[in-house]
Amino acid sequence: MKDKKKIAILGSTGSIGTQALEVIEEHSDLYEAYVLTANRQADLLIQQARKFQPAQVVIADESRYAYVKEALDDLPIQVYTGVDALCQIVQNDEVDIVLTALVGFAGLRPTVAAIQSHKMIALANKETLVVAGELVTRMAMENHSAILPVDSEHSAIFQSLMGEQSEIEKIILTASGGPFRKYTLDELRTVTPEMALQHPNWDMGAKITIDSATMMNKGFEVIEAKWLFGVDADRIQVVVHPQSVVHSAVQFRDGAVKAQLGVPDMRVPIQLAFSYPYRLASSFDRLDWYKMHDLTFEEPDLGKFRCLALAFEALRQGGTMPCVVNAANEVVNLAFRQGQCGFMQMPEIIERTMQKATFIKQPTLDDYFLCDAQARHIAQELIN
Ligand code: NDP
């Protein structure tokens, strides 16, 4: 019998991480959770480790290491802590697939480490490609490390490209538009974190839910699509599709459009990233074609959703600018959730950070770390 594929889940306690564990549980004959990691949620990590019995776990927050270590003392599980451990653990020869399901810039270093070890990457952590897409995709090519998209839109594009040899004319990147699609500018100024944390179609982690409400998430997905599929920004069209049934599409040179549709369920793209090039059976919900009366499509309002426009602008400028936008966005996203800045202040602070940050046209990996730190500092000062 063929060995099970051993999966390292970076961020197993998050929204993507827990759904990945459901996929592994459903296909326990094929997959094994070999590494589980969390940042601070020690109890959930312990619970997952007792259930899935991975070889190794990492609790990134060092203050919780002793607690996790003691709780797993009776099991043959190695427990590590700290950021460096995340990078070392993905390089283990036993690991077949690394699912990058941690959130934010923190995903960059472990993803780079996994690529350097020629691992197959199931990429959920879009920030890695937003920050350093050029460098990361080049490194992946050089190291023969495949990057399989987990983001539902990019998985849809990837699926639409399966079996195709022809050039892409245009990518149609669908967006739900978030909960405030119909709000006026005045109404947007009154949006609270509680309101923004309610996404109409997807149940996701807090950071990406806010990014969806501002549409920065869609801007990041435009950048991610450019690097994954080698298509420039002017050939990526964002289309608001509030029902989230068409997950995205590709238009080819003959005008034909191929799309992937389905019930909004992240386990579908996660499972495909694990099983590619095969599709596995699933017990997930199916589309009910008699109930889909209205599938609608509209243009995004870039005047209201400035974050999307700023992401396009960063992509056009290239170099460290997307890194600046990502860093400033991480700062304002958290500040908004903590009640320290308003909904409409988020794009303002990001834009001013873009104006103030040092710009490097052809950055090295080290430059990205310096750029990230500087942009965070500028954005935080602007909030203060
Ligand atoms: P969550 O916030 O739900 O989970 C994040 C995970 O990463 C948790 O396990 C968390 O640990 C861990 N983590 C957070 N910060 C750090 C850090 N500094 N160092 C190490 N580990 C850390 O996020 P999501 O699952 O929603 O999103 C994960 C990624 O996937 C993001 O990049 C997001 O954009 C992308 N994505 C998510 C989708 C979704 O449906 N959720 C859809 C498409 C893409 P702890 O629990 O201990 O805090």
Question: Ligand 1 centre and the CA of 38: distance in Å?
Answer: 9
Q: Ligand 1 center to residue 54 CA distance, Å?
A: 19
pLDDT digit string (tens) for 149-160? 999 999 999 999
Pocket test for ligand 1, best of 9, 15, 224 (most atoms within 8 A of CB): 15
Query: Letter for the amino acid at 44?
Result: L
Question: Is the CB of residue 103 below 6 angstroms from any atom belonging to ligand 1?
Answer: yes
Atom of ligand 1 nearest to the CA of 151: 43
Evaluate whether 148 touches 239 at the Cβ level (below 8 Å).
no
Ligand 1 in contact with 359 (CB < 6 A)?
Answer: no
Distance 41 CA to ligand 1 centre (A): 12
Give, for ligand 1, the residue of 59, 81, 103, 130 to mutate: max count of ligand atoms closer than 8 Å to Cβ.
103
Determine the Cα–Cα distance for residues 333 and 208; give it in Å rounded to an integer.
9
CATH 1.10.1740.10 in the chain, residue ranges: 318-384
Mean pLDDT taken over the chain: 97
Q: Is the CB of 171 under 6 A from ligand 1?
A: no
Q: Is the peptide bond before 269 cis (omega within 30 degrees of 0)?
A: no
Rounded-to-integer distance, Cα 171 and Cα 183, Å = 27
Separation of CA 11 and ligand 1 centre (Å): 6
Residue 2: the pLDDT is: 62
365-383 helix and 321-337 helix, angle to the nearest 10 degrees: 40
Name the fold adopted by 5-149.
Rossmann fold (3.40.50)
Determine the distance separating the centroid of ligand 1 and the alpha carbon of 127, expressed in angstroms.
11
CATH of domain 318-384: 1.10.1740.10
The residue behind tokens 């839910």 is 209
Residue 133 near residue 226 (C-beta atoms within 8 A): yes
Q: How confident is the model at residue 3 (pLDDT cuts 50, 70, 90)?
A: confident
Helical H segments across the chain, by residue range:
15-26, 42-52, 65-71, 83-89, 108-116, 126-142, 152-161, 185-188, 193-196, 206-214, 216-229, 267-275, 306-317, 321-337, 345-356, 365-383
E strand or H helix at 169: strand 168-175
Residue closest to 175 by CA, chosen among 270, 76, 246: 246
Which residue among 9, 12, 16, 263 has the greatest number of ligand 1 atoms within 8 angstroms of its CB, and so is best to mutate? Answer: 16
CB 244 within 8 A of CB 176: yes
Q: What is the C-alpha separation between 181 and 198, in angstroms, rounded?
A: 13
- Per the DSSP assignment, residues forming a β-bridge with 257 are 251
Query: For the ranges 196-210, 239-253, 264-278, which has the lowest average pLDDT?
Result: 196-210
pLDDT average, residue stretch 271-289: 97
Residues 305-353: tens digit of each pLDDT: 999 999 999 999 999 999 999 999 999 999 999 999 999 999 999 999 9
- Of 161, 315, 165, the residue nearest 236 (C-alpha): 315
1 pLDDT higher than 70? no
CA nearest ligand 1 atom 40, residue: 204
Query: What is the rounded CA–CA span in Å between residue 73 and residue 85?
Result: 19
Whole-number pLDDT of residue 199: 79
User: CA 216 → CA 155, 311, 371, distances in Å?
Assistant: 19, 7, 19
Q: Give the mean model confidence (pLDDT) for residues 180-198.
A: 96
DSSP classification of residue 353: H
For residues 197 and 178, is the Cβ–Cβ distance under 8 A? no
Ligand 1 centroid distance, CA of 126 (Å): 10
Average pLDDT over residues 159-183: 96
pLDDT at 370: 98
pLDDT in tens, 241-262: 999 999 999 999 999 999 999 9
Residue 151, ligand 1, Cβ within 6 A: yes
* pLDDT tens digits, 9-37: 999 999 999 999 999 999 999 999 999 99
- pLDDT tens figures, 87-99: 999 999 999 999 9
Q: What is the arithmetic mean of pLDDT over 274-303?
A: 96
Find the 102 Cα to ligand 1 centroid distance in Å.
4
The amino acid that residue 208 corresponds to is: I
Q: Which residues of the chain form CATH 3.40.50.720?
A: 5-149
* Ligand 1 centroid from CA 103, angstroms: 4
Dig out the tokens for 261 from the structure: 């549709």
The reply to whether ligand 1 has any atom less than 6 angstroms from the CB of 14 is yes
Pairing of strands 236-240, 147-149: unpaired
Q: What local confidence, expressed as pLDDT, does residue 201 receive?
A: 80
